Amino acid sequence: MDSFDYIIVGGGSAGSVLANRLSEDPSNSVLLLEAGGEDRSPLIKVPAALIKLIGNPAYDWGFQVEPDPSRSGRQDYWPAGKVLGGSSSINGMLYVRGAARDFDGWRDQGNEGWGFDECEPYFRKLERCTFPTGQERGAMGPQAISHLRTRHPLAYPFVDAAQASGLPHNKDYNAASQEGVSAPQLTQLKGARFSAADAYLKPARRRSNLEIRTKAQVTRIEWEGPRASGVRYEHRGKAHTAHAKGEVILAAGALQSPKLLMLSGIGPADDLKSHGIEVTLDNPHVGANLLEHPNAQLGFCVDQRTFNQEINSARVAWHALRWLTARRGPATSPYPHAVGFYRSTPDKPFPDIQLLFGPFGFELTPDGVAPSLKPMVTLVLGLSYARSSGRLTLTSGDWRDKPRIALEMLSDARDVADLIAACRTARAMMEHEPMAGHIKGEMTPGDEVQSDADWEAYLRRTVDPTYHPVSTCRMAPSIAKGVVAPNLKVHGVESLRVVDASVFPDHISGNTNGAVLMVAEKASDMILSNKG
């Protein structure tokens, strides 16, 4: 049986950080187990190729959500990275810290040490901003953060129109305040994706005290009384056991970490017993409080070619060559070419909407969603602090079965009202010059949607998840309120931590990958300093 000081389950964003930081001390032996494969595919490096990664079972877990009664029974597909780098290898690359008040809110829920003042040094520690910044941003960290190398021409009149509508220009939404409209910041380097595996794993792989095993699916945690003593995993068709002299650290993500806890006997006792699982610890919070950012979309026809047309044209080969030779052009592009944070209504105390402007348009076809043949731009509006929540449970006691994910995304009427107000504000932005002169018509939802009832019907038909699941192993000061303590140790057992988006006590404003990296940096210090 293999024996290591630390066993990390999951080679995604958090697992990559942990593997690097824990193995910096040559006296620590570290095993990283990743169920997916290596991140060598060129598709991972080309930013625009993310459409080839999402839905591809070689790189994506491909979770299905239960039909949602709050959205006419729609059943969503939720991607999650199944490869070294995890979702940072297949996501849209937008880097967002979150608002300072988000982390102060974590602290105010009783999680000492997680206020923004305590978290901010770890953001700076991880960041390598490749553009000029102030003192509040990092420039020497492992994670490269860049601006787009090729920005669509319509991004500039959109930013001007947003300002004309009253939204201030914000040079850096990851600095003092999120509010305003900005150029996007991306986990890219010189026009190529720069994942957490690029930032943290690749520099550490040559260390003799770090072992990385891919295609290694952890099936359960092993116990010696209340202590997590190791893990059982499948590798190359055989069952293996690895022993942890120090700790087992789950970094499998907000959908996989709670599943593994439940398969190992930590979760709602009655549910575990119904699947024939021996109960190690009854905790109904495991898998509960599933939070997500719902998003609405507005699409407009415009007067010049957009990137969806480039995808559908004979120019694809030219764009591929341009990326290979110069790392420029549409192939460098994820979705957003402008980012905004604004208040859905003026009485909101802070921004509650994240806006993404993309030079892309999509249409619903008999085969699903496909790039439009028309020149289009789309606004995506994400509700940062949705009140609706869901739950993740086991489908069975078999580790091979995916979990059951249930979320009524628009079950709270306040979320619907906020999205309606946000849509009205976004539509008004597009009526300002200089953007208005480029608009040839609103495609979705269309001019016929005007009343609150019209908007609600549209939203319940079309709102999508943003693929930001959090809080399924939420951090709380006691087992009565959550799954892990502020030191990220699992309540009620020993030598077991969770370090990923599942521990977020609540929403953050914006994309979650940046905050996951921060949490893992902070957790690494906790583990190495033995503060826990």
> Do residues 210 and 220 lie in contact, with contact meaning Cβ atoms separated by under 8 Å?
no
DSSP letters spanning 399-441: TTSPPEEEE-TT-SHHHHHHHHHHHHHHHHHTTSTTTGGGEEE
Give me the phi and psi of 216, to 5 degrees please: -115, 100
Would you give the DSSP letter of residue 277? P
Report whether 78 contacts 467 (CB < 8 A): yes
CA distances from 290 to 70, 132, 258, 373, 410 (A): 16, 37, 11, 37, 14
Query: DSSP character for 208?
Result: T
Q: How far apart are CA 209 and CA 137, in angstroms?
A: 32
Query: Does the bond joining 434 to the residue before it have cis omega, within 30 degrees of 0?
Result: yes
Q: Which of 285, 438, 468, 491 is catalytic?
A: 468
How far is 492 from 283, CA to CA, in rounded Å? Answer: 9
DSSP label at residue 330: G
| CA nearest to 187, candidates 198, 178, 176 | 198
Query: Measured between alpha carbons, how far is residue 369 from residues 363, 462, 514 in Å?
Result: 6, 12, 28
Task: Assign 3-class secondary structure to 196-207.
Answer: HHHHHHHHHCCC
Q: Which residues contact 47 (CB under 8 A, 6 or more apart)?
A: 93, 186, 188, 191, 192, 193, 331, 332, 333, 334
Catalytic: 240? no
Shortest CA distance to 242 belongs to which of 252, 234, 253?
234
Q: Which residues contact 293 (CB under 8 A, 6 or more apart)?
A: 354, 382, 383, 384, 386, 465, 466, 468, 507
Helix, strand, or coil here: 505? coil
The residues near 94 (Cβ < 8 Å, ≥ 6 apart) are 184, 185, 186, 334, 335, 336, 339, 356, 510, 511
Surface-to-core class of residue 35, CB atoms within 10 Å of its CB (0-12 exposed, 13-18 middle, 19+ buried): buried
C-alpha 497/C-alpha 86 separation (Å) is 19
Whole-number Cα distances in Å, 259 to 182, 404, 416, 501: 38, 10, 30, 14
Active site residues: 468
